[in-house]
Chain A
Amino acid sequence: MTIEIKTTSVEPIRNTYSAIARRFGDKPATRYQEASFDIEAKTNFHYRPLWDPKRTLNDPSRTAMQMDDWYAVTDPRQFFYGAYVGNRAKMQEAAESNFGFCDKRNLLTRLPEETQHQLLRLLVPLRHVELGANMNNSKIAGDAIATTVAQMHMFAATDRLGIGQYLSRIALLLDGSTGKALDESKTFWMDDELWQPMRKLVEDMLVIDDWFELTLVQNVLLDGLMYPLIYDRMDAWLGEQGAEDVSLLTEFQRDWFKESLRWTNAMTKTVVGESEGNREQLQIWVTQWEPRAYEALKPIAQATTGLDALDEIRAELSVRLKKVGLESTGVQA
């Protein structure tokens, strides 16, 4: 049979899905667009949740933030699942090679006992903070009501699990994979005075109900102070202690934080910019939580970089917040 293909039948009859065309016009859409906009159920939910009978499923009132359209919050990185795992696969390849290098050359076990002890006391306990961040972001992914928002938090949830695992592996390198060093490190998290303000903060965050408050506190305020303090300043300080090789094992976190600034800044800016009401409520939360994040990191700064470093970082965060119309108190920026 000879098949004659007429050109008209090869021409598309539409360029994209209707929901995407309503937003962006009927033109070829990106994979990010087709995967991220309006695929979440919006209306006609059948049953009220037994766990929250006052609200429906996918209820916008699970946060005090009000948005005319939550899809206004988008990801500057344009991550949908495929783009996300592709990116992280590359990052993990680099991390794997660094861990392999340190392992092969015994770069950590060659460190003085005291430095090894410092890693277990000052760095490795952050794995628990990461698990808290993982839980918080998973909650947000479940509560947020637009895919563009929900997926960024899901990616953050798995990222934080991964970062917790990388931190744990530092201890496994130190003890030759017996688990002994992790057991020791956990006692610092549970009992060492230095960690208690942080542990209290993390536990307090686990009972925050409003998901946008939670993303602000976790992904903007705490991370905004913690990542620069730990992975820049404390990293440099460790270098001064002769442990510059540790840097290789935390490179993932540095790259990750730099990247995360893109979406956290964009998200905050959009939500603040939506209304004065949003801005006011966010300002209340910043005023309430930013000092707590600072206090939680204070003992760690004091034990390592000195408080000046933390104050500088605090000022940087203040500048960052100012750019989106929020102010943090307690800083002479």
Chain B
Amino acid sequence: MAIKNKKLNLKDKYQYLTRDMAWEPTYQKKEDIYPDEQFEGIKITDWSQWEDPFRLTMDAYWKYQAEKEKKLYAIFDAFAQNNGHQNITDARYVNALKLFLSGVSPLEYAAFQGYARVGRQFSGAGARVACQLQAIDELRHSQTQQHAMSHYNKHFNGLHDAAHQHDRIWFLSVPKSFFDDARSAGPFEFLTAISFSFEYVLTNLLFVPFMSGAAYNGDMATVTFGFSAQSDEARHMTLGLEVIKFILEQHEDNVPIIQRWIDKWFWRGFRLLSLVGMMMDYMLPNKVMSWAEAWEVYYEQNGGALFKDLERYGIRPPKYQDVANAAKNHVSHQAWGTFYQYSQATNFHTWMPEEEEMTWLSEKYPETFDKYYRARFEHWDKEQKEGRRFYNNTLPQLCQVCQIPVIFTEKDDPSVFSHRQIKHEGERYHFCSDGCCDIFKNEPEKYIQAWLPVHQIYQGNCGGADVATVVEKYYHINLGVDNMEYHGSPDHQRWLDIKGLKPLQSNSEKKTAA
């Protein structure tokens, strides 16, 4: 090789080491090799315009990731060997982990499957490679989470059967249907849903609260896996933004499709995050920031900057963003109030906030907490202390799309439940909001298939007709051990034992669920 041209720069070199390995097939038709690339109507005129969101060759990937894993597992080992679970602020905190392991970790796994699939489907090799690296990262997250929680599972109840429960428990159909929805869509919608709407727009609202919460509550294992996972997330977020820009730049016909997907996935994500909101405001003994504050920073401020940037493509902020912004002062209280009532059917404990926590909530939600929620919570607290812990034994009406019980209120009137219904082919369907109702109207044939837990119980598909049987036999929840009121629970007793304290007399527990 006597003649030397110009040395490749990083970008071109990376292209040679990824997409240049691909070629134009001649023995098989492109549409047979990539059969799923067309049906969504997205038009890609030139894959070579794809901007690689990061330029990590496999050797560097192995090196950096191994370094991260080495650090992480050293801490897991130290945590377990030193019984790190004894250093958390309070055992109530562990319930946030139960929610995480059963609600979030299975999504990491679903993301792995989804990205492995789309990592094969695009005819653009640059996009495929980026998706594959995200696939293996997501596998990492699902596995490090199992390992981070492993020690907690040995010392607390309710963490023991998360994946089984994710497939079955009524409220876990909220996150599960979210990811099933994305995975059952085409590859471009999957990326718009997960890479853009979820990873880029909303992931900070999931991870930062959980991880900062862990840091504030002495949970070394979770902080460590969380931040270690987030270092991958920065790559995923970059992919999310590049994907959207790429699709929008390829063809103007893509704009309305993408806008509809952004509207849909913003709303689905917002509903899903109600669970995180309640975790932040109610399940952390040491509070980090309120859900409303997190929403302001991570959605209103960051999302605002993002959608302003996307204006030039003809993209506007998601429909019903105003409803979501207004709801920031309500969702966490409404969600916690619901989980409190149905705690006989959850895989974690609930409780009413202590007086100083009520004060914090009043301060953080000056316009809503005292006015709409405090009185009910104080009443429930009193009832519990007098031995009449309230459980609601009627099964709730679920939204056909987000699958959350119809518990949220109207934007302009927090005293009225938001409830929509429509008839489709002779059947009546119920929704929590215009957002969810619109999603249904766009794809009714998809959402009529939803596996709605409450319907399934009534139809006898969950192992029995009464709550106790469903909960114990079908959900694998140890009733009264894994769940129900925190005060007086085995976890509570054990925690007092660890801390050398005696249980309070008044907190004797009655099982009223069965």
* A interface with B by C-beta (< 8 Å): 2-6, 8-10, 12-19, 29, 31, 34-36, 38-51, 57-58, 80-82, 85-86, 88-89, 91-93, 95-96, 109, 116, 127-128, 130-131, 134-136, 138-139, 141-143, 147, 150-151, 154-155, 157-159, 161-162, 164-166, 168-169, 172, 174-182, 186, 189-190, 199-200, 203-204, 206-207
Type the 1/0 row for B180-192, where 1 means its CB is closer than 8 Å to any CB of A.
1101111000000
Q: Collect the chain B residues with CB atoms within 8 Å of residue A41's CB.
A: 106, 109-110, 163, 166-167, 176
Residue of A nearest to B159 (CB): A17
Type the 1/0 row for B66-97, where 1 means its CB is closer than 8 Å to any CB of A.
11011011000000000100100000000000
A255 CB → nearest B CB, Å = 14
Interface residues of B, dominant DSSP? helix
14 contacts between A and B (CB under 8 A): A44-B456, A57-B184, A82-B143, A86-B70, A92-B62, A134-B132, A139-B120, A141-B116, A142-B113, A142-B116, A142-B120, A168-B16, A176-B7, A180-B3
Residue of A nearest to B154 (CB): A12
Q: Please give the number of chain B residues whose Cβ is less than 8 angstroms from any Cβ of chain A in the complex.
A: 102
Q: Collect the chain A residues with CB atoms within 8 Å of residue B125's CB.
A: 131
Name the residue among A4, A85, A151, A166 with the largest chain B CB count within 10 angstroms.
A85
Q: How far is the CA of A42 from the CA of B167 in the complex (A)?
A: 7
9 smallest beta-carbon distances between A and B, as pairs: A162-B58, A142-B117, A89-B66, A12-B154, A142-B116, A35-B143, A141-B116, A4-B500, A131-B21
Contact: B8 with A51, CB < 8 Å? no
Residue of A nearest to B60 (CB): A92
Residue of A nearest to B478 (CB): A18
Q: Collect the chain A residues with CB atoms within 8 Å of residue B430's CB.
A: none
Q: How far is the CA of A181 from the CA of B65 in the complex (A)?
A: 31
* Besides the known contacts A142-B114, A142-B119, 14 further A-B residue pairs in the complex with CB atoms under 8 A apart: A4-B500, A10-B86, A34-B147, A38-B163, A44-B167, A47-B181, A47-B449, A57-B183, A88-B66, A116-B1, A138-B119, A141-B113, A164-B17, A199-B23
Contact: B451 with A92, CB < 8 Å? no
Q: How far is the CA of A7 from the CA of B498 in the complex (A)?
A: 9
Contact: A162 with B119, CB < 8 Å? no
Residue of B nearest to A209 (CB): B35
* B interface with A by C-beta (< 8 Å): 1, 3-8, 12-13, 16-18, 20-23, 25-28, 32-33, 35-36, 39, 57-59, 61-63, 65-67, 69-70, 72-73, 83, 86, 105-106, 109-110, 112-114, 116-120, 125, 128-129, 132-133, 135-136, 139-140, 142-144, 146-147, 150, 153-157, 159-164, 166-168, 173, 176-177, 180-181, 183-186, 446-447, 449-451, 456, 476, 494, 497-500
Contact: B39 with A50, CB < 8 Å? yes
Q: Collect the chain A residues with CB atoms within 8 Å of residue B117's CB.
A: 138-139, 142-143
Q: How far is the CA of A151 from the CA of B112 in the complex (A)?
A: 9
Q: How far is the CA of A29 from the CA of B147 in the complex (A)?
A: 11
A26 CB → nearest B CB, Å = 10
Residue of B nearest to A199 (CB): B27
Known contacts A128-B23, A165-B59: does B186 contact A45 (CB below 8 Å)?
A: no
B38 CB → nearest A CB, Å = 11
Contact: A81 with B144, CB < 8 Å? yes
Q: Collect the chain B residues with CB atoms within 8 Å of residue A10's CB.
A: 83, 86, 498
Contact: B167 with A81, CB < 8 Å? no
Contact: A39 with B146, CB < 8 Å? yes
Q: Collect the chain B residues with CB atoms within 8 Å of residue A40's CB.
A: 109, 113, 163
Name the contact of A49 in the complex, choosing from B22, B109, B129, B184 (C-beta under 8 A).
Answer: B184
Q: Collect the chain B residues with CB atoms within 8 Å of residue A135's CB.
A: 120, 128
Q: How far is the CA of A189 from the CA of B26 in the complex (A)?
A: 12
B172 CB → nearest A CB, Å = 10
Contact: B106 with A9, CB < 8 Å? no
Q: How far is the CA of A147 from the CA of B136 in the complex (A)?
A: 12
Residue of B nearest to A58 (CB): B113
A260 CB → nearest B CB, Å = 16
Known contacts A162-B62, A180-B5, A203-B28: does B153 contact A131 (CB below 8 Å)?
A: no
